[in-house]
Structure 1
């Protein structure tokens, strides 16, 4: 446990929570507009998927600098500066004139989101150590609350005819200002972990490859399933169920509300039943949700199914990040950085699903989702290093 005054650690927790919140708002402010953007730029599903995948590609590219930023300036400055720039990048996104300029703006967003995400989680885990209790799942729950707020605002703006430029410019400026405020709260005394490398691994703490790969696999699965609903949920409602374009955001909001609930109770559930059991039950729940939505393509079944997915995958990414950060035989921050970047491979699903949807149908393309969800059951058994 890091020796930090509890009052200061508690204040830093609020600051990190605010950074998680605005990170989600930035992401969610654009998602309900996906259908509108696809139609505005006349993109087919395959091309649209490629455009959306520019974000995860940017996030993977950020791996070249994320670890160096943590070591050179620390987790808090990395998180705060990335958050400010991510907000301002919404203005750039609003200026996109076609699919390719949108892809470029999303590529930049991916870089900033990745460095901010790694900074947020590294500092959040540092606050957790200072407080001496688990808070990481709750911080991800705050992220989900931010996604609901951002998604709801975007959906309301869309339904009321507010131009996308007005919505994104306003939101971007607010995010930059809130990030500055968070920067005042998150400050903690300098510490060797996770901002600086710790001592080299010893024989008593050897790196275990297969459990670590299983941990990363759980994170990838969580990211992929989250991205499937976020990217294709609204389009599924419009193209398959027959809902109106202005109601497309309902899929994202239903999913995020359930995801928030799952993350807010996730710490308590893990403390009571253990991480492995919570992950396995969640995987079955997510698979059931996808099967319900795909087998009975109606509005209520789809929204119910997406909500079940949200609850089911709630602890996957937080658990994977915490376990990777605690992986033996790795320098401080290395496991977290690797897992944060590699799990973003899951966000590269849109072009594959889009291409398959154009060749067959979106319903068939989404059948990959329940299979991915059930893979977590096996991964949780292999991942003996997931902290209980």
Structure 2
């Protein structure tokens, strides 16, 4: 029986995802054509709306920031042998942590002290919410997929309870907290540019983008350069062998889920501290689930996650422009096109792998 061909990394993480994306765009173009619209026009509007102007690029990078955090969260857990699909709930509890801290301290502390505490509160809220499913998995045998799904619903219910009964200002009908003081607001990039004498169009892009890129560097160093990251990946690859080597799998489960939850909680820094300035009902808006596709497309590597997050950021921003600019192209059609891209470029990423394996094997045999 022949052994499967091991694809080189430049094919696995470069050429194969690019091919899958091209296939996804081709299928999406056929769907657009089938509903009576022009695929070339739709693609042109999408690219122009997401990357063709400074304002559009700002919105694209704003979405990208959120998807980097959720993609990294999924990737860290995956390297530990866990499938964390609780990013929605963990991000929501990160927002609760930010809101409680901001409403309590932001009127009294300057931004230089408040903003690091906001980042810490977001990470800690997501980490604590992820630690409970991790404990149930490690010590009670509960399946991490089931518990993280249920904890998404619990987080949403807890958020509603806190907003309705405790955090909503008296006399307000809107289900949202009071506004934070300015010291708890992550500075927007266009505001910082103005202070430096530069002109940038207003957008929700803020300094959370820098935090997301630093998180990518930190995750890369932790997973591939540190002893703790090696132990986590060893447990994820072969838990029995890792246990035989003296690594405690239970503690690695806690570590993987804790870091994963902390990264998901950082979504609140971008959304709550950076843009809205108050806690709202559904500020996560599906970003936790999008992070799964981002991580899969990025091969669970920080560099790939940044590129995949940029793709999804462009799809989100460009999709809004397409729905607005092209008559008859509804928001539901945009979501359908986005779903096809997720399906072909993410969920079906391995379908084309055998074809590339045969081609690579044939080329290697020809050169040999």
TM-score, scaled relative to structure 1: 0.34
TM-score, scaled relative to structure 2: 0.35
More helix by share: 1
Using CA pairs under 8 Å that are at least 6 residues apart, name the structure with larger relative contact order, 1 or 2: 2
* Structure exhibiting the larger radius of gyration computed from Cα positions: 2
